[in-house]
Structure formats: C-alpha cells, structure tokens
Structure 1
Amino acid sequence: MKRQVKNNVYWLGKLDWELEEFHGSDYSINHGSSQNAYLILEDKKVLIDTVWRPHTNEFIDNLEKEIALKDIDYIIINHGEVDHSGCLPYLMSKIPNTPIYCSANAVKSIVGQYHHPEWNFNVVKTGDVLPISKDKSLVFVEMKMLHWPDSMATYLTGDNILFSMDAFGQYEAVAELFNDKADKCLLMEEALKYYANILSPFSPLVKKKLEEIKKLNLEIDIIAPSHGAIWRDNPMQIVDMYAKWCDNYKEDQITVVYDTMWEGTMKLAHALAEELKEQSPTTVVKLYNISKTNKNDIMTQVFKSKAIALGSPTVSKSILSSVGGWLHFLQELSLKGKKAAVFGCYGWSGEGNKVLREELTKAGFEVIDQEEKCSWNPREENFENMKNIAKELLK
C-alpha cells in the first residue's frame, strides 16, 4: 500500500524483513532492508524506480491499486541495478511505449541486463527539466559512481524533494518510513556501514558531487533515498555526515583484526588490544577475528579508525586465506590517512608479516616499522613488544 511522503508524492516500495545479504553474498544485512519506489500524482503521473524482481507481483499489485498502469506518463529510473529496475520487464510488457527517463549509462545497464533496446528511453543529464504540472518539475542530477556510472538523482520542485537513489540510504527496514520515527542510533549506524562498505572507494567523487549539489542552490525539505528511512527531519544532517565521511574520516579508535591457526596470533592480538587500552584509556579499541565476524561489520569499524593492527600466522610462505580475502576487500575501499601495524606467529619460514606489510601498503595504509614476528607460541618478550607497537600506533 502507498504511504504519503508529501502532498501528491507517495512511497510505494517493499519492506524486506527477511533479507540477510545483498550484492550476492558480499554485503551483510542485519536489520532487514527496503527498496523504495515513489509515485507522483500531479498532472503527469510519474513512477520513480521499481523494486527487486522477486517482489514484482506484489509491487505491481500495489501499484495497480493506486493507478491504472496505462495512466503512468513517465517512468524515472535513477539507477539500473536490479533492486531498482527489476520490475521493468513486466511493467513494460503492459505499457510498452511509456517513456523511461534515465542517464545515458543507465540505458547501457538496463539494455545489458534486460535486452530491450526498443524501450522508449529518454536520456537526461544534470540540469535537464521535465515539467509535470503547471508549477512543478523534475530536475535531474547525474550522480556518477554513487555508486554506479549510471546513477542519478531526481529533484521535485515545489515539494523540494530530492530522490537521491542509493546515496544517503541505509540497508535497514524502517517500518515508520521517516528518520524522525526511526531508531536514530541504528539509522546512523546503518548509514555509516553503507557508506564505509559501498561508497568509500568513491569518496573523492562524493566530495565533488556534494559541492556541485550545493552550487545548484536546491532547497531540500526531504531526501528520499532508495533504501531505508526517508530524511524529513533535518534532512541535511545526512549530507553533512557524508561531507565528513568522504574526507579521510577517522575517529579516536584503533581496530585490531586477526585470524589464527593454533591461537598464538590470537594471544598477540588480545595482548595488543589490552595494551592500547592501557596506554590510551580514551581511545576506542575494537578486536575482531576475521573468521568469526562479518567482514562488512569489521570494515565499518576500520573505516572509523585512525589505525589498525592486522595479524596472521605464516602459512605456506604467505598468510591465511581468510586474511588474504579480507585484505583484497580492504584494498577495494581505497581508505586514506590511516596507520597500520602487523604481527603474527610462524613455525618455519616466517613470511607472513612481509606479506601483510606489502598488502596493507597497497591498501593505502602507512605501515609502522615496529612489528611482532613470533616464532612458535608467544613468550613474555613477545607480549612485551606489543607495548612498543601500541605506542607507535598511538603517536
């Protein structure tokens, strides 16, 4: 069923309480999620986005309760990813000539996915305007790489609503729909997790786009993203947070991350975490075993941290595969301005620390010289050296 956003603008999406993962299995969902679509009932009837294909029947049934499909004048697709365009094939089979407004790159992604080049595509770019009534228009703003090359936002004049696509959203099912009704702590936690794991590789582009939007002098009363809560109470608060997050963000926090084979590296990790807290009681210290904690939740804490320490035993002249995979993901995120330390146990050849150091450097971290390379199980002198590592990380 539709729910009013403002005046003649309605939410018509899907609250997916059972969703546990996204982007294949690459992103963990802890609190459900939503795919937000919007219906504008002005002189022109406009559908902004759809929902994921598994929910097509439910979505179309709900849509038809509000409007005859043939009465939809325009379809806006802000982003071609399947969780927003998934209902298009069915919808277009019913109303095949309906104009679709999207970016040039979205035509490529939509045709590439659904193989319908004959659809009535209308390419728009930043600043293009589509009137929908005597005193209201849609203004399009390209949002390249936030987070696909085809992404854009749509602004509704008069009601001052920015349909921001994936930007400013969260993977969270918010039954109350609006940010002022949601759990505020959880809302911001999920918004940060989304930014850290999805948007952080594009932080320089986020920074430029925020500056560009500011120059457009749009009066924004509501930010309506494609996932999670709609920002109607102080909507610019999430824009302000993005401005912080995109600028080499860090807090007074250090995160210790490791995996272990026979607990030696685990003992070093715990000793380091305790030493960090001892030397700097005000610093937040987090400790995670890569094999026991979801990688997205760990990475959210790494994003917040000013420094990390990473540990792995040496295995076959390298590191544990769990740590190797985690490092590959870390490199994708292109974090900047953070320090790192390495540590680990070995029995025979001891190349693990060298591999950790090389991979962290590739990930953009400043790796300190101090390290702990422990032969077999840790002794007192190995634990003692964790004091030196902690001191260097805290400088």
Structure 2
Amino acid sequence: MTNKLEIAKNSYWVGYVDDRKVPFHRLILEKGTTYNSYLLMTEKPTVIDTVDIEFGRVYVEKLSKIIDPKEIEYIVINHVEPDHAGALPALAAKAPNAKIVTTALGAEELKDMFKLHNREFIIIKDGDKLDIGGKTLQFFETPYLHTEETMITYCIEDKILYPCDQFSTHIATYELFNDLAKENYMDDFEVYYKLIMHPHRPYVQDMIEKIKELDIEMIAPSHGYILRENAQSFIKAYNIMSQPSDESKKALILFSTMTGNTTKVAKLIGEGLEDKGIEHRIINTKNASNEEIKEAIMAADAIFFGSSTRYADMVGNIEEVLKDIKDMNLSNKLAIAFGSYGWSGEAVQVVHDYLLESNMKVIDSSYIIKTTGMDHVQLPLRVKFVPDEKEQNRIMEVGRVIGDLLLA
C-alpha cells in the first residue's frame, strides 16, 4: 500500500495496517486492526490522530515522505490512548512548529504522558472551529466515548466526521473504504460497539444529539473501514443500539445515621440518580420494618447501603439488614457501599465487606475503571463530615454513574 490514500480533495489516510493477531483490552483481535491517521494538506497542514505507539517511528518515516513535518501546523488528538496518540511524541519531535489541538483534559494527560509541557496546545470546547487554510474544522466534546477527554472532529467543507473510536471496526483492511470491503463487516462493527461503546450508552445518545445537524457524507474513524458508503446508516445503527431500555430501573438507598450527615449523602446520591431518570427510594433503616426493607430490596435494581462511623463500626440497625441479604437471592442487583465519618471512617469498608459476602454485583472503583474507563469515581463512597460544594458534586456523580450502569 502507498504511504497515503486520498479520501477527499487534499485529505489523505496516512495510517498503519496491523494484520497480526493484536492484543487489545485483554482481548485478541483475530482480524487485526488498522490505526487510521489523516493528513489534511491545506495552507496550514493538519494531522488528525496518529497511530499506535509501537509503530511511531515507521509512521513518522512514512509521513515524512509525503510532507516535511516542519510544515505541519496542527496535530489534532481526539483521544489520548496510545493506539491513537502513541506516535505523537515521535511526530512532535519532527514537527516542532505544530500546535496540538485537543480538550483541556486531553492536554493535561498528553503533557504528563509524553512530557510535552513545553508544547503549545489549543484547547477546544463544544462547537469551536479552526480555520486550517482552505478547510474548517469543528470540534465537539464527547466524554466517555470511551474515556473522559475524548472529542470528535468534523471538516465542514469535506463533510467528513473524524470520530476517533466511535464508528470503528477492528479489522486489518487494505481496502480501507467500506464500499470496497471483501467481507461482511457489520458483525465486527456491532461487536466493537458492544465491547467499547455500549457501557457508555447514554453518552452515545449525547454524541448523536451533537452531530444530528451536521451534513455528514463520510465517517473516517480511527480503526477499520472509512465509511463513505451509506455513512448515515451507521449513525442510525448507533442510535438504535444505544436507545434506553423500555424497562424502567429502580434504585434503593438504605442507611443508618448518627448526626444526619449520612442522610445528606443519601439525598445527594438520589439527586444524581434523578439526573439519569432513575426512580429511587430513600429509607432510613430505623424508620422501616425488616419486612418493608426486604420488599424494597427485592423491588430495586441497585441498592446503596450506607452508615455513619462510630467507634470504627456501623451505627443503627444497618448491620441486621446486611446479615439478612446473605440469605436472599439478589444476583441480578447492583450493590454499593457509602457513608459519612468524622475521623476514621471504617464503617463504609465494613459495609462493603458484608456486600462481598452476598451474591450481588458489588460496584467499586475497580469495577468502574474496568467497565467504563472512569477513574474519578471513588467507591465505596466515603464522605468526611458535612459535604461541601465540591463533595456534593462528587456524591451526585456517583448517583449518575450508577444510573448509567443501570441504563446500560
């Protein structure tokens, strides 16, 4: 294959085809993959995404045969994972004049990952535009598709969407365009969506809302086929696959409290759930019978169990509830521990330990990171004293994240 392939006037694919069996996200990509990078040869030459860090040197060598890297004015990084931004250090070293275009969080992560603190960054926000001399790029933030810093790029004149991981397919293809495909790739397209995007289904809907007014004739993702035939059908497919379930989900927030701080935490979790349209009920265990609590647990899809800490232990009768759930069949329900404390805060961990002895799916930080990539949500949720404004936002975010898990 040549070093470049024209996808539109003065716009080229300059990526790398990896036709091995590729280790990826604890999987083996049996059909390999492509790392799609794009070069827009405008008055202000622009690269959109790079390739995997393993092929950085080869990538820059091939790119240098097409353009002198010193002429590159912008490098757009839609997503900072090493399979997209991995060749950035090698490219940046050869393109000293290039400004790096990304989100605020993306800039922070790239600086730390690749020691680029002395480079000039252009920070984008939703709807921002960049004139690259003959073409105009427009940017949209798409957090959690599939990590928090992600954005997408749209070329107005070419009517091409560069959505990074979104609309991708893990196939090593030398044909590159979907209308030239020699095999049926729709199963691979759907599997990619289910593995990478579906855990973030509500955010897929947010993305579709942002691009619905764009005139998109081609989708040029970061893996697999460039979708120049029936591009809109792939947007429709994402829309269908990410629709909320018709079945309403319910959450229950159970807690014991000593001074009322845990009550405040419970209500803030509830507000986060409300933001996601999740019906919820809050019960202080001292105000409900054992039978009422059991009925509420059986009716819920996710249950938060909380307690204040007193003398390194739980308070009230929440422990009796936790003992009872060991004998209940709750295997299809999510469980989350939370609580407030003044000094040491052991009770929250004790609650969490009880939950691990049940047959519920216990949600903690490890589970969140492995299923969504989010690393800012700390579970079990421990809150010291009365939550200030920053803590309130953190608590509500827990409710929103669990709401997303229920919707997905």
Q: TM-score, normalised by structure 1?
A: 0.61
Distance 1:114 1:238, change over 3 A: same
Query: Whole-Å Cα distance in 2 between the matches of residues 53 and 355 of structure 1?
Result: 50
Can you list the C-alpha shifts for 1:58-117, whole angstroms capped at 9, x where unaligned?
Answer: 101110110001011111111111111111112222233420000111112212322322
Q: Report the Cα offset of residue 155 of structure 1.
A: 0.7
Aligned to 1:196: 194
Unpaired stretches in structure 1, ≥5 consecutive residues: 251-330, 332-353, 364-395
Unpaired stretches in structure 2, ≥5 consecutive residues: 247-301, 303-325, 336-408
Query: Whole-Å Cα distance in 2 between the matches of residues 61 and 113 of structure 1?
Result: 22
Aligned to 1:144: 143
Query: Whole-Å Cα distance in 1 between the matches of residues 47 and 328 of structure 2?
Result: 49
Q: Report the Cα offset of residue 7 of structure 1.
A: 1.1
Distance 1:48 1:357, change over 3 A: farther
What root-mean-square deviation, in Å, do the aligned CA atoms of Structure 1 and Structure 2 show? 2.2
Aligned to 1:12: 14
Matched, 1:114 2:110: no
Matched, 1:213 2:247: no
Q: Report the Cα offset of residue 233 of structure 1.
A: 0.4
Map of 1:75-94 to 2, 5 A cutoff?
75-94=75-94
Q: Report the Cα offset of residue 138 of structure 1.
A: 0.6
Give the counterpart letter for 1:88 in structure 2.
L
Query: Whole-Å Cα distance in 2 between the matches of residues 195 and 179 of structure 1?
Result: 17
Give the counterpart letter for 2:164 in structure 1.
M
Give the counterpart letter for 1:171 in structure 2.
H
Please point out which of 2, 5, 12 is paired with 1:3.
Answer: 5
Identity across matched positions, percent = 35
Can you list the C-alpha shifts for 1:236-295, whole angstroms capped at 9, x where unaligned?
Answer: 111111011101579xxxxxxxxxxxxxxxxxxxxxxxxxxxxxxxxxxxxxxxxxxxxx
Aligned to 1:362: 334
Map of 1:253-292 to 2, 5 A cutoff?
none
Query: Whole-Å Cα distance in 1 between the matches of residues 32 and 329 of structure 2?
Result: 37
Q: Report the Cα offset of residue 356 of structure 1.
A: 11
What secondary structure sits across from 1:358 in the alignment? coil
Aligned residues: 256
Distance 1:227 1:357, change over 3 A: farther
Give the counterpart letter for 1:117 in structure 2.
H
Map of 1:121-200 to 2, 5 A cutoff?
121-134=121-134, 136-183=135-182, 185=184, 187-200=185-198
Query: Whole-Å Cα distance in 2 between the matches of residues 84 and 206 of structure 1?
Result: 20
Aligned to 2:363: none
Aligned to 2:260: none
CA contact (8 A) 2:73 2:97 kept: no
Please point out which of 235, 241, 244 is paired with 1:245.
Answer: 241
Query: Whole-Å Cα distance in 1 between the matches of residues 329 and 73 of structure 2?
Result: 57
Distance 1:223 1:357, change over 3 A: farther
What secondary structure sits across from 1:180 in the alignment? helix
Distance 1:249 1:120, change over 3 A: same
Aligned to 1:384: none
Can you list the C-alpha shifts for 1:127-164, whole angstroms capped at 9, x where unaligned?
Answer: 11111224x21111111111111111111111111111
Can you list the C-alpha shifts for 1:283-309, whole angstroms capped at 9, x where unaligned?
Answer: xxxxxxxxxxxxxxxxxxxxxxxxxxx
Query: Whole-Å Cα distance in 1 between the matches of residues 115 and 155 of structure 2?
Result: 30
CA contact (8 A) 2:21 2:28 kept: no
Q: Report the Cα offset of residue 183 of structure 1.
A: 4.2
Query: Whole-Å Cα distance in 1 between the matches of residues 132 and 104 of structure 2?
Result: 22
Distance 1:189 1:116, change over 3 A: same
Q: TM-score, normalised by structure 2?
A: 0.60
Query: Whole-Å Cα distance in 2 between the matches of residues 357 and 201 of structure 1?
Result: 25
Please point out which of 219, 222, 241 is paired with 1:223.
Answer: 219
Give the counterpart letter for 1:194 in structure 2.
Y
CA contact (8 A) 2:44 2:74 kept: yes
Q: Report the Cα offset of residue 36 of structure 1.
A: 0.3
What secondary structure sits across from 1:153 in the alignment? strand
Can you list the C-alpha shifts for 1:348-367, whole angstroms capped at 9, x where unaligned?
Answer: xxxxxx8995343229xxxx
